[in-house]
Amino acid sequence: MTAAPRDFQIAPSILSADFARLGEEVDNVLASGADIVHFDVMDNHYVPNLTIGPMVCEALRKHGVTAPIDVHLMVRPVDQLIGDFIDAGASIITFHPEASDHIDRSLQLIRDGGCRAGLVFNPATPLSYLDYVMDKIDMVLLMSVNPGFGGQSFIPATLDKLREARQRIDASGRDIRLEVDGGVKVDNIAEIARAGADTFVAGSAVFKARNEADPHRYDGVIRDFREQLASVR
């Protein structure tokens, strides 16, 4: 485990938000204490689903969102969309290494555009993709479900993989976030944090907790996450 205490960040996945009121949903989840906005981009090619693209990211920035936007690219190919999301105001861009023909080049494109860069690992994708690019990585994102849909169950083998990723990150001596995505709930977030994660994507767990009457409608679930995480420090 890490020597220093980690700062934990909650990243609601807007995949589970009400798309008809997306700006308001993002405002509300941030007002309720979320740290960053997780933005799932699916192309109906790399994954069997189709979601939102750079125009929506740009619209959120124009709407006034200043929090980091964490763009999770589930697309193939990746490089054209990297440029589009840099222009659209992304803060962090992650992609799946097997979806890029030139991983080092794609990471460099992200960094040259002033964004933080990361690789995403599906449950069966080996961490060895990190071997020669650790110096170009700001985030490692481990999928704890197969990508494409919200609302799936956390795959328990992710816990061992998180421990391995945490060791690699600590050994690198670099400031690299370890994010986990899929099936994160109030009742498993502490165990996931103990395995080494510091950034927690949660879609259905957050947005199903909606209380329509209240602008701070997601306070409860985000407070519950933080209470669980407090026991890990």
Ligand X SMILES: O=C(CO)[C@@H](O)[C@H](O)COP(=O)(O)O
**Annotated binding residues:** 13, 38, 40, 72, 148-151, 181-183, 203-204
Choosing from 7, 40, 112, 138, the catalytic residue is 40
Stretch (H or E) spanning 12: strand 9-12
Choosing from 43, 138, 181, 198, the catalytic residue is 181
In degrees, to the nearest 5, what angle opens at C-alpha 205 toward C-alphas 149 and 220? 160
Determine the size of the site formed for ligand X (CB under 6 A). 22
Question: 154: alpha, beta or left, given left = phi > 0 and alpha = psi -120 to 50?
Answer: beta
Instruction: Return the range that interacts with Fe ion (CB under 5 A); candidates 22-30, 35-43, 60-68, 85-93.
Output: 35-43
Query: Rounded to the nearest whole angstrom, what is the least distance from the CB of residue 120 to ligand X in the complex?
Result: 8
- Unique residue bearing structure tokens 């400031």: 175
| Between 18 and 104, CB nearer to ligand X | 18
Q: Is residue 40 a contact point for Fe ion (CB under 5 A)?
A: yes
- Which does residue 100 touch among ligand X, Fe ion, none (CB within 5 to 8 A, set by kind)? none
Stretch (H or E) spanning 179: strand 177-181
Q: Is residue 152 a contact point for ligand X (CB under 6 A)?
A: yes
66 CB neighbour count, 10 Å cutoff: 9
Q: Is residue 205 a contact point for ligand X (CB under 6 A)?
A: yes
Q: Which of 162, 214, 228, 233 is nearest to 10 (CA)?
A: 228
Q: Which of 53, 118, 183, 196 binds ligand X (CB under 6 A)?
A: 183
| Between 40 and 43, CB nearer to ligand X | 40
- Which does residue 152 touch among ligand X, Fe ion, none (CB within 5 to 8 A, set by kind)? ligand X
Q: Is residue 12 a contact point for ligand X (CB under 6 A)?
A: no
139 three-class SS:
strand
181 is catalytic: yes
Q: Assess contact for 13 and 150: CB atoms under 8 A.
A: yes
Q: Which two tokens stand for residue 197?
A: 């994660």
b/e code 138-155 from CB counts within 10 Å (16+ = b):
bbbbbbbbebbbbebebb
Which residues in 117-136 contact ligand X (CB under 6 A)?
none
- Which does residue 203 touch among Fe ion, ligand X, none (CB within 5 to 8 A, set by kind)? ligand X
Query: Rounded to the nearest whole angstrom, what is the least distance from the CB of residue 203 to ligand X in the complex?
Result: 3
In degrees, to the nearest 5, what angle opens at C-alpha 185 toward C-alphas 171 and 147? 70
Measured on CA atoms in the order 182, 187, 193, 194, is the torsion positive or negative? negative
Q: Is residue 51 a contact point for ligand X (CB under 6 A)?
A: no
Q: Which residues are catalytic?
A: 40, 181
Contact footprint for ligand X (CB under 6 A): 13, 15-16, 38, 40, 72, 145, 147-152, 181-184, 201-205
